């Protein structure tokens, strides 16, 4: 503005024309932005735009609050979850992760649309790279749409970027079937454009596109999205006048299961993925535990299970996912114990012989953490578990580096003193961030004893899609199609790898065993929330209060202990299972939360949107 004023003043004073003050200054470009034309004319800038679209994944499964905290598997320490109390509404959405939040996903979808529109006829001279980027954007658009679809049901499909020339920015929800078809089409396009790219590098690959397609088709075939089945199981769904937004109102369900099975088998037949799935008998328990750790750390061969992952490097910016251990380690290690496994989850881990754990069994009740599925020891930090060395302020109190989740006696048995475990809410190290349930997460934690998790970020990737999920998807589809022998063959491959014996059941009992196996294997990987809904077992699985464990250690007669350490020689331990209590979180189920509400703000902005059933 000052430049314009000076030019005008000069012309008025000396009677000169403004030739010297030409209009070039009006064409100046911002120094902190790049024009759209410049982006899509330059290969490197185009690549940067495409790469940024991946940031819609955020921290994936390594968020501070595990998505399993909105299921029976876990509890969030820092605030009740409205969805667990069936207390969500269009004006109170509760805690919605960024990876399925409506506006966040549509923002990334718009970015993918912009990329696809500009890459249709690339302005830089490298068709191979342009095709690869198009494939990635088809994948990511399908990925983001599926995040919305499995959370809300059908959504509006927008396949091109809006511009200011659009006469109307409102659009109705497509049908569920149309959404599935659109996502599958995007993933098929991605697989073609990314042909030959199967091994994960943090980017979309042909294998990732095929694996996500298998997930989408499995969900589409499930009970919740077969409207005749869903109506029979839910009066809320039965009373909804737009059921086509929730699932298939007609059609051949066997054909849908067949498509899901074939899509999963196509990934298996690539022969590019898989970790120790060629076993014919269970490995030893210790080896099985390490196999499971190798997979979730993506190390020592376990990376072969990964299909689509988000990676972290310590030297990068402050990714929240790389702080996962600090956010979820016990307070006795100066962690926050944010996401805490429940007793329901712990009870779902089988005994080593494949039988169910049972508190009514005296042997089980006396030693509840012995002879369990090796994945239990790889996934859960429990009382007495061996873990990392303590930080200096705790090393003298616990030189053994063992998890302390109980209340114990120290001193002499004749005149004992009460001692509160370092990882309880009565800890002498920190007491504001201790576990409520008596457990903490171990899965996804780097066990390196030199990593002090309170101030050093880890480099464990967030697993978005892995091969074992594809195998379990294949198993589920085979079960639905009555192909039990094939289903058990692959289900037992998964179990043998972790040291568990073969499953031999048939019929409904086999389906129940499969559902539990899927939960244990895919723990904390954003599966449980959707699985209990699409199987329509949520009323029983989620409609109960979270359970906790209360542990006491009483000195045996004649014993004296000065520094506490877990010891069955010195202590008699007792374990009491209790409900957490409704003051912390009053869990209950209502059929409306099969599908989550669309925000009132979105409804107000777009009058064509129809709200999900059960919400006003």
pLDDT > 90: what percent of the chain?
Answer: 88
**Average pLDDT score over residue span 497-526:** 98
Is pLDDT of 613 > 60?
yes
pLDDT at 304 over 80: yes
Res. 203: pLDDT tops 60:
yes
Task: Identify whether 291 is part of a domain.
Answer: no
Residue 180 has pLDDT above 90, yes or no: yes
Q: Verify that 264 and 319 share a domain, yes or no.
A: no
Residue-number span of the structural domain to which 361 is assigned: 312-460+547-583
pTM of this structure:
0.93
Residue with tokens 């690339």: 122
- Number of domains, the chain: 2
Please indicate whether residue 202 or residue 201 has the higher confidence score (pLDDT): 202
pLDDT of the residue at 217:
98
**What are 508's two structure tokens?**
């409904």
Q: Are residues 48 and 171 in the same domain?
A: yes
Residues 264 and 317 in one domain: no
Residues 358 and 385 in one domain: yes
DSSP string, 40-66: HHSHHHHHHHHHHHGGGGTTGGGSSS-
Query: For 20-57, what is each residue's pLDDT tens digit?
Result: 444 454 455 554 566 677 899 999 999 999 999 999 99
Residues 452 and 419 in one domain: yes
Confidence of residue 245 (pLDDT cuts 50, 70, 90): very high
pLDDT tens digits along 427-465: 999 999 999 999 999 999 999 999 999 889 999 999 999
**Tens digits of per-residue pLDDT, 354-413?**
999 999 999 999 999 999 999 999 999 999 999 999 999 999 999 999 999 999 999 999
Choice between 536 and 202, residue whose per-residue pLDDT is larger? 536
Residue 528 lies in a domain: no
- Under 8 Å between Cβ of 57 and 98: no
Whether the predicted pLDDT of 214 surpasses 50: yes
pLDDT digits (tens, 9 = 90+) for 544-587: 999 999 999 999 999 999 999 999 999 999 999 999 988 899 99
C-alpha to C-alpha distance for 385 and 333, rounded to whole angstroms: 14
**Residue 441: strand pairing partners:** 380
Q: Do residue 599 and residue 572 come from a single domain?
A: no
* Residue count (the chain): 616
The residue to which tokens 């089945």 are assigned:
229
What CATH number should be reported for the domain holding residue 258? Answer: 1.25.40.390
The token pair at 479 is 């079960």
Confirm whether 15 is domain-assigned. no
Say if 152 falls within a structural domain: yes
With 0-12 CB in 10 A as exposed, 13-18 as middle and 19+ as buried, what is 355?
exposed
Q: What mean pLDDT comes out for the span 219-225?
A: 98
Q: Quote the mean pLDDT of the chain.
A: 93
- pLDDT score for 11: 36
b/e string for 272-285 if b means 16 or more Cβ within 10 A? bbbbbbeeeebbeb
Is residue 307 predicted with pLDDT exceeding 90? yes
Question: In the chain, what percentage of residues exceed pLDDT 70?
Answer: 94
Residue 577 is assigned to a structural domain of this protein:
yes
Query: Does residue 255 sit in the same domain as residue 112?
Result: yes
pLDDT at residue number 12:
33
The per-residue pLDDT for 581 is 87
Judge whether 213 lies within some domain: yes
In this predicted structure, what is the pLDDT of residue 4?
32
pLDDT of 139 over the 70 cut? yes
- Indicate the range of 13-27, 176-190, 415-429, 593-607 predicted with least confidence: 13-27
Q: What is the pLDDT of residues 54-92, one digit of tens each?
A: 999 999 999 999 999 999 999 999 999 999 999 999 999
In this structure, the answer to whether residues 347 and 223 fall within a common structural domain is no
Q: How many CA atoms lie within 13 A of 512 on its CB side?
A: 8
Residues 68 and 107 in one domain: yes
Residue 412 phi/psi, 5-degree rounding, is -100, 150
Q: φ and ψ at 604, to 5 degrees?
A: -65, -35
Q: For residue 488, tell me if it sits in a domain.
A: no
Q: pLDDT category, 165, cuts 50, 70, 90? A: confident
- Euclidean distance between CA atoms 384 and 381, whole angstroms: 8
Same domain, 221 and 346: no
Alpha-carbon gap, residue 539 to 594, rounded angstroms: 10
pLDDT at 30: 56
Would the pLDDT of 7 be above 50? Answer: no
Same domain, 259 and 316: no
Pick 94 or 18 by higher pLDDT. Answer: 94
Q: How far apart are CA 89 and CA 27, in angstroms?
A: 49
* Pair (579, 599) in one structural domain: no
d(CA 541, CA 129): 47
Is 541 a member of any domain?
A: no
- At 13 the pLDDT is 34
């Amino acid at each position: 503005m000052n430049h314009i004023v000076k030019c005008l003043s000069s012309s008025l004073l000396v009677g000169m024309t403004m030739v010297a003050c030409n209009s070039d200054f009006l064409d100046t470009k911002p120094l902190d932005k790049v024009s759209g034309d410049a982006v899509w004319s330059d290969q490197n800038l185009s690549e940067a735009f495409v790469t940024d679209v991946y940031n819609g994944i955020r921290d994936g499964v390594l968020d501070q609050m595990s998505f399993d905290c909105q299921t029976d598997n876990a509890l969030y320490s820092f605030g009740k979850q409205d969805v667990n109390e069936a207390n969500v509404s269009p004006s109170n959405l509760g805690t919605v992760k960024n990876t399925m939040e409506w506006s966040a996903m549509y923002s990334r979808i718009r970015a993918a649309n912009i990329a696809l529109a500009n890459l249709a006829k690339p302005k830089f001279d490298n068709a191979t790279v342009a095709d690869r980027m198009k494939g990635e954007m088809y994948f990511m658009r399908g990925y983001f749409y599926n995040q919305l679809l499995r959370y809300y049901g059908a959504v509006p499909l927008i396949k091109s970027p809006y511009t200011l020339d659009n006469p109307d920015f409102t659009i109705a929800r497509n049908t569920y079937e149309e959404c599935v078809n659109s996502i599958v089409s995007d993933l098929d396009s991605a697989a073609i454009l990314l042909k030959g790219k199967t091994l994960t590098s943090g980017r979309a690959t042909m294998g990732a596109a095929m694996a996500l397609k298998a997930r989408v088709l499995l969900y589409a075939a499930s009970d919740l999205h077969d409207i005749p089945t869903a109506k029979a199981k839910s009066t809320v769904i039965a009373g909804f006048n737009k059921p086509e937004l929730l699932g298939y109102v007609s059609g051949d369900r066997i054909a849908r299961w067949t498509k899901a099975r074939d899509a999963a088998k196509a990934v298996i037949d690539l022969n590019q993925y898989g970790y120790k799935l060629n076993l014919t008998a269970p490995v030893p328990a210790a080896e099985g535990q390490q196999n499971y750790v190798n997979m979730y750390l993506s190390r020592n061969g376990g990376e072969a299970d990964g299909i689509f992952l988000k990676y972290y490097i310590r030297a990068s910016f402050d990714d929240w996912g790389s702080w996962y251990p600090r956010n979820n380690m016990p307070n006795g290690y100066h962690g926050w114990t944010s996401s805490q496994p429940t007793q329901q989850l712990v009870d779902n881990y089988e005994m080593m012989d494949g039988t169910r754990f049972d508190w009514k069994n005296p042997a089980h009740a006396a030693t509840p953490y012995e002879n369990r599925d090796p994945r239990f020891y790889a996934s859960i930090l429990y009382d007495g578990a061996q873990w990392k060395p303590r930080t200096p302020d705790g090393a003298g109190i616990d030189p053994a580096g063992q998890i302390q989740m109980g209340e114990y006696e120290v001193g002499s048995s004749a005149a004992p003193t009460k001692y509160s475990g370092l990882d309880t809410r009565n800890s002498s190290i920190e007491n504001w961030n201790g576990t409520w349930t008596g457990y903490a997460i171990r899965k996804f934690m780097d066990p390196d004893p030199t990593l002090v998790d309170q101030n050093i970020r880890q480099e464990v990737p967030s697993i978005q899609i892995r091969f074992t999920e594809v195998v379990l998807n294949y198993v589920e589809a085979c079960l639905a199609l009555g192909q039990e022998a094939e289903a058990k063959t692959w289900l037992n491959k998964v179990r043998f790898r972790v040291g568990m014996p073969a499953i031999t059941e048939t019929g409904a009992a086999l389906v129940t065993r499969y559902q539990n196996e899927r939960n244990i294997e895919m723990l904390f990987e954003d599966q449980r929330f959707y699985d209990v809904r699409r199987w329509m077992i949520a009323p029983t699985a989620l409609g109960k209060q979270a359970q906790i464990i209360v542990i006491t250690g009483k000195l045996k007669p004649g014993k004296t202990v000065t520094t506490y350490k877990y010891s069955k020689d010195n202590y008699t331990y007792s374990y009491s299972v209790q409900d957490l209590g409704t003051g912390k979180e009053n869990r209950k189920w209502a059929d409306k939360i099969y599908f989550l509400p669309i925000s009132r703000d979105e409804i107000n902005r777009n009058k064509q949107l129809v709200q999900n059933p059960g919400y006003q």
